[in-house]
Amino acid sequence: MAQGSDSNDTSYKSPSPGSRPSSSDDVKKVMRREKNRIAAQKSRMRQTQKADSLHLESENLEKENAALRKEVKQLTEEAKYLSSVLSSHEPLCTGLGAQTPELLYPPHPSSYHQHIAVPHYQH
């Protein structure tokens, strides 16, 4: 937009005296300015919408991040709890002291994964 001009100003300001353009040139200039004004308005609107969209996306990602951090914290606590349960249970098992870890915890085939129901750790 030209310096010092009002975005709502559609009036035509005549050029310096001595060079008087024809009225068809005046109409073309006014039409071009109006078209430019509308294009600038649309551009500003698109820019605002994009900023709003990015703001919403940022808020959603922050919420998702907080939820994932909470889940990591809960899973870490559960892992600590299960580790303590295992540590307290191992001495009760007879004959496990001489076995290798491969015998204690055999590898599972990728198609077989058994879920064991364990009470969740309570705060």
In a domain, 14, yes or no: no
Residue 23: closest CA among 36, 14, 34: 14
Find the largest Cα–Cα distance for the chain. 112
| Residue 12 near residue 30, CB atoms below 8 Å | yes
State the residue for tokens 């709890």: 81
In a domain, 121, yes or no: no
The predicted-structure confidence for 92-110, as pLDDT tens digits, reads as follows 886 555 555 565 566 655 5
Domain coverage including residue 41 = 25-90
In a domain, 109, yes or no: no
In a domain, 13, yes or no: no
Distance from C-alpha of 75 to C-alpha of 120, rounded to nearest angstrom: 10
- pLDDT at residue 89 tops 70: yes
The predicted-structure confidence for 8-62, as pLDDT tens digits, reads as follows 555 555 555 555 557 889 999 999 999 999 999 999 999 999 999 999 999 999 9
Q: Is the pTM of this model over 0.75?
A: no
